Amino acid sequence: MNPHRYQLAPYRGPATRTTCPACGKPKTFVPYLDTKTGEALPEPYGRCNRETSCGHHLSPYHAGPSGMSYADEVYRREGGKGQFRSSRPRIPAQRPPMPPPNARRSDAQPILSIPDEVFTASLGHYDRNQFTRLLRRHFGMGVADELLARFQVGTSSALWPGATVFWYIDEQGRKRGGQVVLFDEQGNTVKKLRPDGEKKRYTSWVHTALAVRCQRQRIPAPDWLTTYTEQAEKSPCLFGLPQLHTAPPTQSVAIVEAPKTAVLCSGYPGFNSFVWLAVGALSYLNVERLAPLRGRNVVLFPDLSTGGKVFNEWNRKAGELKRHGLNVAASDYLETRATDEQRAAGYDLADYLLEGWPGYPPAWDDTLK
């Protein structure tokens, strides 16, 4: 008998594949099944088959910031009874204090991350980074370079010249994933129409870009890359978390969907009083990812949509998070100000702010704000 209770659903036709909660593409998501009950696990536990353009994979055996995985929580809730077990020993209901960051726990699955030398090599090269050009055009050199340093934005040419890397770095400084995005001159993600009529967004991940480069150069992938590609969760934390190390506990946190939006809003007067973070996708807006924010006031800024559908979904999520002890509220800032055209275009907060941005004061070129 297979000892693992939770397994990816085998393919038995298109009906066994659903819409990916991360990228929204239908019939690409492989859910995890509970082999004890025969039921699918709740989203976002599963894997997207669009490895290059999405890369979503959340395992029920992955231990989050709380130290518990989905499998652990179910096992504990069931009282540790039955023939199925978690992949790790059962954790008592009253857990001991969390170990220091450099301590290793024998019962925890290893946290896979990208080597620091890969991260460091991506920093800089901003003369050819399209996102950097947008920042400097709107905010000037001083503020733009401060934002690039604060969010540790990188540059990648492995897939597309001028692409940007948004690094997902956890509370302990580990580079858990890097999203690669190619922007046009207006700051929009580049899209290309495929022969089948589907629009391909120029977004990927650092591990995918490195694997492609190895294939093109006909060299073997390093061992860490093979292990990471097969096992690691690609965006297991919020974007921008290192800012919390220097932010006072009383400073409020703002959460948006896209890393680009978090960076841009941080430079906008009147909004830079927040610590700006990005969650990546609505399905990632959960207790596990927001665990580092306990005790802080958190404000969600949803994107616009026709009929307020996106706002309603984020507002519902805020209610769920509050029931788990997090101080979260959804802002209606955009909902009360946007035009019908902006709603139809799906503006986010950065789009809205920059459209009405009159330009930066000349002094910003010389003084960091």
Residue-level pLDDT at 94: 32
Using one digit for the tens of pLDDT, what is the confidence trace for 320-330?
A: 999 999 999 99
Would you say residue 85 has pLDDT above 60?
A: no
> If pLDDT is split at 50, 70 and 90, which confidence band does 282 have?
confident
Higher pLDDT, 132 or 76: 132
Q: What is the mean pLDDT of residues 118-137?
A: 92
The reply to whether CATH 3.30.1960.10 applies to domain 241-365 is: no
Using one digit for the tens of pLDDT, what is the confidence trace for 5-55?
A: 888 888 777 778 888 887 778 888 889 888 888 888 887 888 887 765 667
Q: What is the mean pLDDT of residues 255-263?
A: 96
Pick from 185-189, 191-195, 241-245, 337-341: least confident: 191-195
Residue-level pLDDT at 229: 86
| DSSP-assigned letters across all residues of 185-254 | TTSPBPEEE-TTSPEEE-EEEHHHHHHHHHHHHT-PPPHHHHHHHHH--SS-S-BTGGGGGTS-TTS-EE
Domain range annotation of the chain:
1-97, 116-231, 241-365
Using one digit for the tens of pLDDT, what is the confidence trace for 200-249?
A: 889 999 999 999 999 999 999 999 999 988 887 766 899 999 999 999 99
Residue-level pLDDT at 89: 33
Would you say residue 132 has pLDDT above 90?
A: yes
Would you say residue 100 has pLDDT above 60?
A: no
Residue 331's contacts (CB-CB under 8 Å, 6 or more residues apart) are 299, 300, 301, 302
Query: Helix 259-266 crosses helix 130-151 at what angle (to 10 degrees)?
Result: 80
Would you say residue 103 has pLDDT above 50?
A: no
| Distance (Å, whole) CA 259 – CA 151 | 9
Pick from 63-67, 82-86, 179-183, 365-369: least confident: 82-86
Residue-level pLDDT at 366: 57
Q: Enter the pTM of the model.
A: 0.71
Task: With CA atoms as reference, report the closest residue to 32 among 22, 42, 24.
Answer: 42
| Distance (Å, whole) CA 272 – CA 276 | 8
Residue-level pLDDT at 109: 56
Would you say residue 88 has pLDDT above 60?
A: no
Would you say residue 303 has pLDDT above 50?
A: yes
Residue-level pLDDT at 90: 32
For tokens 């934390």, the residue is 237
